């Protein structure tokens, strides 16, 4: 277990809601339609990830404005995901952070050769993510009925869901050429997730009563 003072390149939090709307679980997919259009348009701009490969190869550096664009887009993407996955009722904002917190440390220097093999190093991570996603699909069905009956997302299921999403986020960031370090797989005690670097996970209380995960 890493110490509290250790530096980590990625933090991801979702604040736990005390109550959720029963009726919104039927229409969230429809209410989010405008965001589908925005996502489709912005995704075309993410070809900068491929272009950034050459700047890393020659300069060992990810252009800061490209990096900031990618991180801000991922924040927006995960606000939509958290809304659609029933974790929060807040309608996704274009700019405000809301209850989904994603921070990534900007790498001052990167390994110029690592992007050539990251796709290969990522294979075990994605295999584990597939297994966790199957379990998460079952959890999502249970949570849907729990919200319908009690207007609450069971806390244990919420922690597991956020852990899977955090692991997906860490893997996505690492293998989109934004991390200077490698990754290793690990199952945290609470909840299962993927570690972002070789120092191991840290799970503890975060701000506003949310569960704080570092990768």
pLDDT for 166-199, tens place per residue?
888 887 776 665 555 444 443 343 333 333 333 3
Written as six digits, the tokens of 201 are 């996970």
Average pLDDT, the chain: 76
Distance separating the N- and C-terminal Cα atoms of the chain: 11
Between CA 133 and CA 145 the distance in angstroms is: 19
pLDDT at 19 over 90: yes
Rg (CA), the chain: 17
Per-residue confidence (pLDDT) for residue 49, from 0 to 100: 62
pTM of this structure: 0.76
Question: Taking the domains of the chain in order of start, what are their residue ranges?
Answer: 10-214
Would you call the peptide bond into 191 cis, given omega within 30 degrees of 0 as the criterion? yes
Q: What is the pLDDT of residue 123?
A: 82
pLDDT at 24: 93
Beta bridge partners of 104: 10
pLDDT at site 59: 81
Does the pLDDT value for residue 203 go beyond 70?
no
Phi, psi for 5 (deg, rounded to 5): -85, -5
The pLDDT of residue 176 = 62
Q: What confidence tens digit (pLDDT) does each residue in 60-90 have? A: 888 888 888 888 988 999 999 999 999 999 9
The SS3 of residue 12 is strand
Q: What is the pLDDT, as a whole number, of residue 57?
A: 80
Q: 123-132, pLDDT tens digit by residue?
A: 888 888 899 9
């Amino acid at each position: 277990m890493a110490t509290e003072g250790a530096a980590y390149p990625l933090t991801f939090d979702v604040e736990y809601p005390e109550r959720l709307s029963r009726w919104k679980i039927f229409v969230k997919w429809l209410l989010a339609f405008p965001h589908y259009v925005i996502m489709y348009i912005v995704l075309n701009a993410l070809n900068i990830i491929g272009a950034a490969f050459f700047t890393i190869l020659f300069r060992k550096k990810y252009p800061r404005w490209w990096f900031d664009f990618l991180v801000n887009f991922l924040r927006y993407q995960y606000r939509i995901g958290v809304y659609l996955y029933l974790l929060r009722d807040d309608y996704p904002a274009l700019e405000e952070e809301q209850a989904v917190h994603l921070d990534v440390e900007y790498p001052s220097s990167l390994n110029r050769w690592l992007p050539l093999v990251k796709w290969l190093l990522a294979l075990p991570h994605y295999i584990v993510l597939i297994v966790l996603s199957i379990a998460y699909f079952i959890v999502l069905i249970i949570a849907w009925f729990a919200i319908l009956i009690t207007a609450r997302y069971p806390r244990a299921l919420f922690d597991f869901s956020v852990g899977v999403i955090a692991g997906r986020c860490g893997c996505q960031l690492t293998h989109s050429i934004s991390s200077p370090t490698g990754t290793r797989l690990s199952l945290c005690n609470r909840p299962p997730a993927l570690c972002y670097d070789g120092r191991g996970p840290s799970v503890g209380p975060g701000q506003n009563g949310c569960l704080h995960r570092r990768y």
